[in-house]
Amino acid sequence: MSIQFKSITELNELLDNKAISVLELTQESIQLAKKYSELNCFVTLNEENSSNRASAIDRDQKNTSLLSGIPLAQKDLFCTEGLRTTCSSKILSNFIPPYTATVVEKLEDAGSITIGKTNMDEFAMGSSNETSFFGSVHNPWKKGFVPGGSSGGSAAAVAAGIVPAATGTDTGGSIRQPAAHCGITGLKPTYGRISRWGMIAFASSLDQAGPLARSAEDCAILLNSMSGYDSKDTTSLNSDVPNFLENINQSIKGKKIGIIKEFDLSDLDTEVQKRFDESKKAYENLGAEFIEVSLPNISASVPTYYSIAPAECSSNLSRYDGVRFGHRAENTDDLNDLYIKSRSEGFGDEVKRRILIGTYALSAGYYDAYYKKAQQVRRLIKNDFDQVFKSIDLLMTPTSPYTAFKFESKGTQNPVELYLEDLFTISSNLAGLPAISIPHGQVNSLPVGLQLIGNFLREDELLNAAHVFQQNSDFHHAKPNLENFK
């Protein structure tokens, strides 16, 4: 019996009925990862430890959680004790952490099994998963096409049915955009909903962990375990965690969904625009009401993000100096030469570019003009969201302006071209709001994503609206043809 493409609920039922053991389930997941190794979605497999853990769960015979015995993949920036964590960078290519990230710990406490660590854009910097030291990840729907970034390895592993779900992180769209390009569901929770402790930082005020899965229901299952206050994380929210499955089946009749006036959808590919209009009609048929709203400062989101994120990246990555851990250059003349050569050899081009931009923005004489000003504009963007959510429940946009594209077809000459891939996703990170991407069709045989943005701590409304849509459509059941990856 193949477990490929089965949901968490389906796998849980098979385990409950003893139709499959946890060990069999885990081993098949690992074999699928090996079978489709050409996807390049895993950096490290956790074969021996995951099999031992699976055997222990089988012996215990206690299924206390929907995640008990379920194989998951972890994005390779979550620290895992004793298991290599690289951030897909040469500078951390041999780093083995002495501790485990809170989010991984929570998922494993719920009974899940980590089968491996997934490939990603280096230090989560990128929108296409082409900046990894370990090579690009292929989109399961089309070889030689990007899966989106930075959580492209996690998205590809779920889309290929290797695992039912995986963790990702979202700094400017890095869960939602790969979810859209790979035809799965990806949720970026409210900033602070999930602990960042043990999650290697890119931009601390923007980074947020979240789940990637085939459906909104599976995302809700993961979110129930991932969420909660963590005293080790000063940005963790000390608020009650609801059961995200409790109201997931509620009717959305009467829900008010905003369409953002400032996003000119006529600039989109004609077929992408058509899918959006069809989904809007589907929500209207489910009883939702659409209202045009204005977010006057949202057009400043991309430049604001690319002032704040590189500045925080410059600060966070200053610790990688070749002294304490990570890659260390050989044949150096003195300490300063060690720093320069270790960082030059260890970081890739995109990471270096963002460190340079961020260091410049934080330097004397430029801090007020760039970083401080960007934070002020960020507040204006947040205020705009606060205002519109007084009259609506959700916002709806495309997730990405385009479908997945060929390797090296964007950003090679002009990096800004690639930065604009996150046009629709960045604003919710700046405002700290939850957002979800769900599949809603295809264009030229490649998936297209629909984004819903919710109010602060209202992941329940997002998951409800996404789940009801999926209950009335089959887009999330679509499976890629993986013949080219065997």
Cα 452 from Cα 435, distance rounded (Å): 6
279 annotated active-site: no
- 44: which strand partners? 117
Provide the residue count of the chain. 486
Contacts of 214 (CB under 8 A, 6+ apart): 5, 7, 158, 164, 165, 184, 185, 476, 477
Which of 174, 225, 307, 428 does the annotation list as catalytic? 174
* Alpha helices, H only, 116-164: 152-159
Query: What's the sign of the alpha-carbon dihedral 290, 296, 301, 303?
Result: positive
424 CB-contact burial (10 Å; exposed 0-12 / middle 13-18 / buried 19+): buried
Token pair of 16, please?
A: 């409950």
In whole angstroms, what separates CA 482 from the centre of its chain? 22
Decide if 174 is catalytic: yes
Least Cα distance to 75 among 36, 104, 113 occurs for: 104
DSSP-assigned letter for residue 183: T
The dihedral sign for the CA sequence 444, 445, 447, 450 = positive
Nearest to 235, CA basis, from 209, 253, 272, 256: 209
Please pick, among 6, 29, 68, 75, the residue that the annotation labels catalytic.
Answer: 75
Beta strands 208-213 and 165-170 are antiparallel
Give the Cα separation of 367 and 140 in Å (integer). Answer: 43
Q: Token digits for 288? A: 């939702």
CA distances from 483 to 35, 41, 476 (A): 11, 16, 20
Active site residue 75: yes
The full DSSP string for 374-406 is HHHHHHHHHHHHHHHTTT-SEEEEES-SS---B
Phi, psi of 446 (to 5 degrees): -120, 140
Neighbours of 443 (CB within 10 A): 17
Name the 3-class secondary structure at 171.
coil
CA dist 303 and 307 (Å) reads 6
Tell me whether the omega of the peptide bond preceding residue 239 falls within 30 degrees of 0, making it cis: no
For residue 181, give both structure tokens.
């390009």
Could you identify the residue written with the tokens 């400062």?
297
Angle at the Cα of 136 from the Cα atoms of 177 and 51, rounded to 5 degrees: 90
The catalytic residue among 128, 150, 225, 428 is: 150
Q: What residues are labeled active site? A: 75, 150, 174
